[in-house]
Structure 1
Amino acid sequence: MGHKVVCLDCKKSFSQGTDFNDRKEANCPDCGKQMALLPHRFRPPKKSEEKKWETVKFLIDNGFYYQHIYETVTKTINGFTKYENLVPYPDNIRDAKEFVERYKNQARK
């Protein structure tokens, strides 16, 4: 379990180990473009699953790098943030569009 670097053009991913203090940006060994850095929970589709890769690219382009997304985010009196109901990532473009619109406040900037 470690973070992954993913080339969205070549549809390849590589594990980068578990040292999160040593995160590296990487270029794809095939096309040379910069790869996306994603957490260990990302499970890449098979290279032949074009529609799923399209969905992954759409989500990343909209700031969803497979970080945890929550249905309910509330603040307590103490100033601590309380998160509830972890939301699964969609695996098709139609659901991804709805997901992006619904959770856009949790997207990475």
Structure 2
Amino acid sequence: MGHKNVCLNCHKAFNMPFGITGEMTCRECGQQMIRLPHRFRPPKKTETAKWETVKFLVEHGFSYQHIYHTDENPVRNGKVENYVRYPDNLREAQEFVIMYHTQAKQK
């Protein structure tokens, strides 16, 4: 498993093995790509609305890191069981950002 380098402009994602460091630029548009964890599942290139949701989440500090319900103990039987599913549309993403803002990564 590795990371994914993602171009939010071209709607492309490339698998990258662990150990590769440094910033990458998109081969098509030349913009800087962002690195997201292996758990990120990119939408199809034609799913523009889903890509806008990804962009919104990333811009608000949610780079597909684990997010969990804060009102519950995240560890049960020795493992984390209450991860939150990332939203699929912009309306849900706006609610998600408000609800889990304390778990957003600071820029």
TM-score higher than 0.5: yes
The alpha-carbon deviation at position 25 of structure 1 amounts to: 1.7
1:1-109 correspondence to structure 2 within 5 Å: 1-17=1-17, 19=18, 21-72=19-70, 85-109=82-106
Q: Percent identity?
A: 58
Tell whether the 8 Å contact from 1:73 to 1:84 is kept in structure 2 after alignment: no
Name the TM-score, length of structure 1 as normaliser: 0.85
Name the TM-score, length of structure 2 as normaliser: 0.86
The alpha-carbon deviation at position 72 of structure 1 amounts to: 2.2
Q: Partners of 1:24 and 1:74 in 2: how far apart?
A: 37
Q: Per-residue CA shift, 1:7-27, capped at 9, x if unaligned?
A: 00000010111x2x4433210
CA RMSD across the alignment: 1.9
Q: Partners of 1:13 and 1:53 in 2: how far apart?
A: 11
**Count, aligned residues:** 101
Q: Which runs of 5+ in 1 are unaligned?
A: 76-82
Q: Partners of 2:81 and 2:41 in 1: how far apart?
A: 23
Q: Which runs of 5+ in 2 are unaligned?
A: 74-79
Q: Partners of 2:40 and 2:22 in 1: how far apart?
A: 17
Partner of 1:80: none
Kindly indicate which of the two structures has a greater share of residues assigned to strand.
Answer: 1
